Amino acid sequence: MSDSTDWKPWYAPLAIVFALGLEVVIEALVLLGAYGGHATQAELNNPSPGVTDVSTALGEAGFVAVALMLAWRVGRPRPAQFGMRRPSGLAAAFGLVVCGYLGFLVLAAIWTQIVNSSANEHYLVKDVGATHAGTAGIIASVLVLCVIAPFCEEFLFRGFVFGALRNWRGPILAALLTGVLFGAVHVGSAPAVDLVPLAGLGVILCAIRQVSGSVYPGIVMHMLNNAVALVINAGWSFAAFCAVFAASLLVLGSLLLLAQRGLRAEIV
């Protein structure tokens, strides 16, 4: 099934603007629903982990909604157009994930040495309650950071934005521009010094999408990166990392299988 599209290249920046705008609106509505009109400044600046979980999850879901809305402008979108199909080879896809992540780690290490920084990635790890919440909070943080965010962000950036820009000047420039946009949207959820490595990660994920013909290997690598960041920042063990990563894969895989049956579409 072809992943070719007629999406206009200017849909890409428009999607980012709409997605971020919708994210702000959702956050405001969640805060209003949680605290009403009597929220203190402290609550608005530092909402509870539960509120952050809900607003983050809904904001990420908004990324998917925006991509689908713009895709509908040129016709009914198909899952394959977003890269939601099996990669060309499972062994090759596994190799792409491993090599891509190792490449990202090397890039991040070099950049850290250049800027002489030890900043920790993902302020959001603390905000969603992974470091100080109970069992329910930990489960919620894993779902948000390691399932919802990887899928929704890959759907928007590698599924839609990269596809739209690729129609303009080909995959190389599209990957570079998508990487820049991917790094830029993490302003606020990651230290400024980490934005360059994150942009590099965005480029690598585009390359994986292009080579494999699927968005799934990129989702797995995105999950891996977020699981590593979550475990390191929360101070958990390697066994905890294995459990988080395996559980995230199982949950997302199960959801995709259910979606396939519901949509009766070839998405896995």
pLDDT for 49 equals 82
Residue 149 lies in a domain: yes
The position carrying tokens 């909070």 is 137
pLDDT confidence bin for 121, thresholds 50/70/90: very low
Number of folded domains that form the chain: 1
Residue 1 lies in a domain: no
For residue 81, the enclosing domain spans 11-263
Mean pLDDT value of segment 180-208: 91
Task: Tell me whether residue 204 is exposed, middle or buried, using C-beta atoms within 10 angstroms of its C-beta: 0 to 12, 13 to 18, 19 or more.
Answer: buried
Q: Is the pLDDT of residue 123 over 80?
A: no
Residue 151 lies in a domain: yes
pTM of the predicted model over 0.75? yes
Evaluate the CA torsion angle 30, 33, 38, 43 in order and state its sign: negative
- Report the distance separating Cα 104 and Cα 100, nearest Å: 6
Over the stretch 126-157, which tens digit does the pLDDT of each residue have? 555 555 567 888 899 999 999 999 999 999 99
pLDDT for 23 equals 95
Q: How confident is the prediction for the chain on average, in pLDDT? A: 88
pLDDT for 125 equals 53
Q: Is the pLDDT of residue 184 over 70?
A: yes
pLDDT confidence bin for 263, thresholds 50/70/90: low
- H/E run at residue 227: helix 216-234
Residue 5 lies in a domain: no
Over the stretch 28-44, which tens digit does the pLDDT of each residue have? 999 888 887 676 776 66
Residue 148 lies in a domain: yes
DSSP 28: H
More confident residue, 133 or 95: 95
pLDDT confidence bin for 122, thresholds 50/70/90: very low
The position carrying tokens 């539960």 is 50
Q: At what angle do helices 171-184 and 162-169 cross, to 10 degrees?
A: 140
Among 128, 102, 108, 104, CA closest to 120: 108
pLDDT for 115 equals 87
Residue 4 lies in a domain: no
